[in-house]
Every structure is written in C-alpha cells, then in structure tokens.
Amino acid sequence: MHAKPSDAEVVVIGLGAAGSHAARRIAETGVEVIGLEAEQLLHTRGAYAGESRLFRAAYHEGAEYVPLLLESREEWLELQRGGSREILRETGVLSIGSAAAPQMRRVRESLRHAGVAHRALSTAELREQHPQHGGITDEIGVLDLLGGVLRPEAAVAELQRRARLAGAELRGGQRVAAVEERGNRAIVRLGHGEELSARVAVLAPGVHAPALLPRLAPHLVIRPIGLTWFCPEDAEAFSPERFPAFIRDHGSTHLFGAPTLDGTLVKAGYDARLGTIADPAELPGALADEQREAVAADVHRLLPGLPPYVARESVHMDLFTADKRPVIGALGERIVVGIGFSGHGFKLAPAVGNALADLALARPTRHDLSAFSPDRFAG
C-alpha cells in the first residue's frame, strides 16, 4: 500500500543546467513546479563541474544542432544580462583539422547553414595567426566568431536563481529512487519512502539516468573525462585575447582547450580516453600517472609553449549514448527526458531546457527534435 502521494503539477528531477532551465521556464508560465536535486543545489559531482565549457556554433557533430545552438547562445547572453556574473565570454573558438577531414567539412557546413560569422584560415594563415599551435602541416582552421567560454558553475547557479525567482520550488538533498506512470499521473518515489504525484515528470539526472530509466540503460554508458591545466612559459601568448578556445583533430588525437579567463593557466585535454565506468560511484578521483603523462606529452607536442607537466587536474563524468546524440523527448504519457549529452551538452542546455518545458506543458517544440528522439532506443 502506498501512502497518498503529495501533488505537484510538474516535477523536474536533476538540477544541472538543462533541468534548472526547464524548471525556470515552466515556473514562468505560472505552472507549479518542484525541482528535486540529489546533491546540494550546486555541487562538484555534476557533469557541469570544472570551471569552463566551450560554446561553439561551428558544429562538426551535425547541422541539426545549429538551431539549438543559436537559441542557446541567445539564452546564455540573456542570462548574463539579467544577473551579476559573467556567464559567456565570447573569445571565439578555433576548429583545427586536416583540410580533407570530414569533421572540418561538417564544421564549414554547419556555419554556412546557419549564416554564422566565421573566418576560414589556410594552413599558412593558421601558422602565422595562431603560432601557439605547433606541428601544423596540412591542417586548416575555422574561427567561429560566436564561440566562447561558458562559466558552468556560475551559469547553473544563475539558472537556479531565475527558476526560484519565477516561483519554482527547488529542493536539494532529494534523491529520486524511481519514477513510474500510474494511471494518468507520474509517481516520483524519493529515497525515504515519500512519493510525489505529478502531471508530468521531467528527468534530467545526468549519469544517474540508467538507474531511473532501465529501458534506455542498455544504450547508455558513463564516461569519465579528465581535465588538465598547464602553466605557459609566456602567459601573454596564451591570454584569452591572443589564444582563442580551440578544438583540434590531429591524427587520432582530439584535443580541446581554453585559456582560463584570468589568463593564468590553459586548460587542454582529450574528451574520451578514460574508458567507461558501470556506476557513478566508481569515478576515479584523479588521473592515473600514465594517463597524466600521455595527455601532457600530447599537449606539449601540439602546443609547444605549454610545458609537458600538469599544473592542475580534475576528473568528471558525462552520460554517453551509442550515437553520441542526446535523448530529448517524451517517454510514455507522463515522463519527459533530457539525457545522454555525450560530452557536448552544456552549451545546448538552455535550448534543451526550453524543449523539456514545452514537452512538459504539452506545447509544440520550437525545433525538430526527431534526431534526438528516445524512440531510436526505446522502440
């Protein structure tokens, strides 16, 4: 026998960037929304931790993302204007890769498709204008002028502040144990036996999604991602004014990085070299010595002005899908999901939050989300 669950109109589970923004947008329509977060409202175990996230409109991942990226950029700037902290520093983002590489073709396509301001750089121009990048032989560059560096912790804090201002009730320390549809309600079970009954539950629980969504679990894996920072010999050459954030595909090495916005260090690393873990509790606290040495050697090879040793590091995790595209959509009548951002979802979070809000409120979404439908996995 279940005790009678207390009621809410919409419950949002997981208050990272997408969940927090969804809660805000739902609350702004006057609908009652409760946001539940397993940890404290801001914490270090989210996929958003680690000081900076790249924002790019040049998207080798596919042109279907571009409308979401442009909408997100407007939202990030709006968030910044309405608050008192820096959210997005528009440094530009430089994509570097072999002229023949498919990802560079896709970068150019995505920019053309969206009419996004950018600068194409030949191999010679790349060498001359961005001498920090070494070993350039056949590579070309595309400088995405809308790109920049997001401040993820500040952004999540600001999104939550706006959600609360709009009337959302956000509760930290509330881990959801299960969600199910019962009759025409979504029943949200909390760890200590309490239940909430909602018209719709929005699930954005990051790496914890497999436990809450067993139907999707076989298509999801948790990947640790290490971040490493380096202290340049010539700090001026690597300042945000002279060294834009970048992603670079060089042979089999996919490197990304950004100067810290105070100009003291440079973050540079790989996006996927640490395998997978079965459970978030298995996240390693640090890189193994050989992993740290390997990334430092590659960073020094491709950015010779950075020394081959790491000044600072941290290890985080994100939830990856088999096709590295997120899962955004309805799963049944009463459950909406936004998960599986596969190492590239932070920049997209406002557009995803808007889509989750539209779905929860049974409004048409602004963009075609069929490429991200849960049906491709859930059948």
Ligand X SMILES: Cc1cc2nc3c(=O)[nH]c(=O)nc-3n(C[C@H](O)[C@H](O)[C@H](O)COP(=O)(O)OP(=O)(O)OC[C@H]3O[C@@H](n4cnc5c(N)ncnc54)[C@H](O)[C@@H]3O)c2cc1C
Query: Interface with ligand X by CB under 6 A: which residues?
Result: 13-19, 36-39, 46-48, 50, 53-54, 175-176, 204-206, 208, 212, 225, 227, 316-318, 339, 341, 343-347
And the tokens for 103? 């990802």
Q: Which amino acid is at 10?
A: V
Between 76 and 238, name the residue whose CB sits nearer to ligand X.
76
Between 47 and 331, name the residue whose CB sits nearer to ligand X.
47
Between 238 and 341, name the residue whose CB sits nearer to ligand X.
341
Minimum Å gap between C-beta 132 and ligand X is: 19
Nearest Cα neighbor of 287 from 262, 312, 318, 319 is: 312
Minimum Å gap between C-beta 190 and ligand X is: 8
Alpha-carbon span 139 to 122, nearest angstrom? 8
Between 16 and 97, name the residue whose CB sits nearer to ligand X.
16
Between 158 and 318, name the residue whose CB sits nearer to ligand X.
318
Minimum Å gap between C-beta 228 and ligand X is: 10
Between 99 and 322, name the residue whose CB sits nearer to ligand X.
322
Alpha-carbon span 222 to 230, nearest angstrom? 26
Minimum Å gap between C-beta 145 and ligand X is: 17
Q: Residue 345, exposed/middle/buried by CB under 10 A (0-12, 13-18, 19+)?
A: buried
3-state DSSP helix/strand/coil percent for the chain, to nearest 5?
Answer: 30, 30, 40
Tokens 């991602």 found at: 225
Tokens 């890189």 found at: 287
Tokens 């998960």 found at: 339
In which element (H, E) is residue 89 found?
Answer: strand 88-89
Minimum Å gap between C-beta 276 and ligand X is: 13
Minimum Å gap between C-beta 299 and ligand X is: 15
The residue of the chain with the least Cβ separation from ligand X equals 16
